[in-house]
Amino acid sequence: MELLTFKRGVHPPHGKYLTENKAIEDLSPNQLLVYPMAQHIGAPAECLVKKGDRVLVGQKIGQASGFISANIHSSVSGTVKDVKPVLTAGGTKSLAVIVENDGQYEEIEMPKPKPYTEMSKEEIAAIVKEAGVVGMGGATFPTNVKLTPAPDKKIDAIILNGAECEPYLTCDHRLMLEETNMIVEGLQIILHMFPEAKGYIGIEDNKKDAIQKLKEATKDIPNIEVKALKTKYPQGAEKQLIYSVMKREVPSGKLPADVGCIVQNVNTVREIYNAVVNGRPTISRVVTVTGEAVKEPKNFRVRLGMSYKELVDACGGFKEDPVKIISGGPMMGMAISTLDVPVIKGSSGILCLTAKQAVLPEESSCIRCGKCVEACPMFLVPSAIDSLGRRKEYEAFEEEHGMDCIECGSCTFVCPAKRHLIQSIRTSKKTVLANKRKK
C-alpha cells in the first residue's frame, strides 16, 4: 500500500497508546457551564441573553456578528447566572454566558430538516451556519464560509482530514471508529453541494483500524476514496494534506479553494451531518484527556461549556502533579495555568505532562545548524524569521514570508539550541496583524 506524504516535517513521539484503544465515554456536566462568545476565528458572537433568563438545550445564546463569525448555543437547560468576561484556554478573556444547569436538559423544538438530497447548496450552507459549525480540528474557522467559495473557484476535491498527526490526541481516531457512518454521510452531504468533486479521506497509517473501517464503509461509493498517509508531523496541516493527497501546492497567500480543494476535519464533517440530517447545533465535542500525569486517560464526549477540571476529575485526577498542562497537543497546543477554563468548540485535548516529559531547558544561541530549515514543511528559514521578529523588523519579517508560517512547531522540536522559535514567530505574526488593523 502506497503511503502518501509531503516534503520535510518531523517525527515526534506519538504518545497515543494512552487513549487510542479507549472508547468514547459520555460525561455529564456539573452545575455551572460557561459559554465564551469567542469560540472561533473571526468576530465574537453577539450575546442574546441576560442574567436571569432561562435557556434550553440547543437555544441560540450568541449570534454571529459578521461574515467570519459563528453562532453559539446552550448545551443544557437552566438559568443564566451571569454574563461577564472569563479566561479562556487561549489565555485571553472573552465575554461569556454562565448558565446554571437545572439537570432537566429540556430542548428547544428542533424540527428535522428535509432530506439533504432535496436541498440546494445554499440551503445546506445556511443550516450549517445556523448550527454554529466551525473547524473542530482546532482552527475553528466557520464552516459555512469554507463551503461557499467564490463562484470562480472550481472545486474538484473534498478532502477529509483524518490524519490526527498531533501527538497524544485520539479524539478523531475514535470518532472514525465509532461514528464511521456519520462521517461518511457528512462527506456525501458536501459532495452533494459540489457534484463535480470527488471525496478523499486521508488517514495516517498508525491508525490502520480506522483506514480499514472507512474503506469498508465507502467500498460501494464510487466518488469517495480512502488514502493512507505516512505517519509524519504535520501531515494534518491543510496545505501539507493537499500536497500529500492531490500533489498540489497552495501558493503563498492563497487558499485551498484556489487549487480546487476544500479540507474539513472528520469531527467537523460529523457536525455537518448532525446539523443537516438531525437539525441539531454544535453543543458537544469529543475531548482526549491524556498524559502520564493523568490517573486514567480517556476520550470523552462532553457538552460545550464544561470546565477542564471536570474532565480531569472524571479521569480520577492526577497520579502525579503535572509540571505543564496543555490545551490541545504538545506541538500546537497552548500551555494553561488553570483547569478552570471552559471546553469550547476547538478543545481537542487536555495534555498533562510530568516533570520527566516536560523538560524545560533554557534557550541558547542559534548555532546555524540548519535543522529548522530541514524540518519546516513551508520551506521557510525559521531561524531567520525568528531573529527578524525578535528585532522587531516586521517589514523584513513579512518579506521573508514569516506570515506563511503555519505554527506547527517542527522547528522548535528539532532545535538543538532549544530556541523558542514558534513562540517568537507566533508573537511576531500577531504583531504584524495588529499593526495592519491600526492602519
Q: Which residues are annotated as a binding site?
A: 366, 369, 372, 376, 405, 408, 411, 415
Strands 324-327 and 334-336, bridge-based pairing? antiparallel
Decide: helix, strand or coil at residue 92: coil
Binding residues for [4Fe-4S] cluster, as ranges, are 366, 369, 372, 376, 405, 408, 411, 415
Please list, in sequence order, all residues whose beta carbon lies within 8 angstroms of the beta carbon of residue 434, skipping any fewer than 6 positions away.
Answer: none
Question: Looking at the DSSP assignment, which residues form a beta bridge with residue 352?
Answer: 325
Please provide the DSSP assignment of 211-268 as one string.
HHHHHHHHTT-TTEEEEEE---BTTTSHHHHHHHHH--PPPTT--GGGGTEEEEEHHH
Of the candidates 133, 145, 63, 108, the one whose C-alpha atom is nearest the C-alpha of residue 275 is: 133
Question: Residue 376 carries which side chain, given as an amino acid letter?
Answer: C
Q: How far is CA 315 from CA 17, 25, 302, in A?
A: 16, 11, 13
Look at phi and psi of residue 195 and say left if phi exceeds 0, alpha if psi is from -120 to 50, else beta.
alpha
d(CA 283, CA 299): 17
Q: How far is CA 181 from CA 71, 280, 297, in A?
A: 26, 17, 26
Cell numbers 534557550: residue: 363
d(CA 103, CA 236): 38
d(CA 62, CA 321): 37
- Sheet holding 72-73: strands in order across? 46-47, 60-63, 72-73
Listed in sequence order, the DSSP H helices in 75-222 are 121-130, 143-146, 171-178, 180-193, 208-218
Please provide the DSSP assignment of 280-311 as one string.
----EEEEEEESTTBSS-EEEEEETT-BHHHH
d(CA 363, CA 100): 45
Question: Looking at the DSSP assignment, which residues form a beta bridge with residue 55?
Answer: 78
